């Protein structure tokens, strides 16, 4: 099943939404963040105590392929592995290019 996605520009908005979801009973183990900048993704994930899309969510082939990919290709691959179609991954990657942070809840 495809994750639910919300888009934010500010880190603080992501933190507020994580707190809201958590208070509604959503397990933080099912919440992921992704941005175009690895450092920002890591910082937001750490501050919100949620996940990043990592090796456990990706196949070995995608993990190895991403080592040689440009950032946009890497992000699209991650999104596709996470359950989005190629078209959806392209659309979300464009939003990441615009500075948005994606907050995704896996079901």
Question: Over 80: is that where the pLDDT of 67 sits?
Answer: no
- Could you tell me the pLDDT band of residue 2, with boundaries at 50, 70 and 90? confident
Q: pTM here?
A: 0.83
10 Å CB burial of residue 55 (0-12, 13-18, 19+) is exposed
Tens-place pLDDT, residues 40-65: 999 999 999 999 875 454 444 444 44
Average pLDDT over residues 12-38: 95
Continuous segment of H or E residues that includes residue 105: strand 101-105
Query: Could you tell me which residue, 50 or 75, shows the higher pLDDT?
Result: 50
């Amino acid at each position: 099943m495809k994750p639910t996605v919300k888009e934010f520009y500010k880190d603080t908005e992501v933190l507020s939404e994580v707190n809201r979801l958590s208070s509604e009973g959503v397990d933080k183990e099912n919440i992921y963040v992704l941005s175009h900048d690895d450092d920002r993704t890591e910082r937001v994930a750490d501050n919100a105590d949620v996940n990043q899309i990592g090796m456990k969510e990706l196949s070995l082939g995608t993990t190895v392929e991403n080592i040689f990919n440009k950032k946009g290709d890497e992000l699209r691959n991650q999104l596709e592995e996470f359950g989005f179609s190629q078209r959806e991954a392209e659309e979300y990657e464009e939003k990441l290019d615009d500075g948005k942070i994606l907050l995704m809840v896996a079901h």
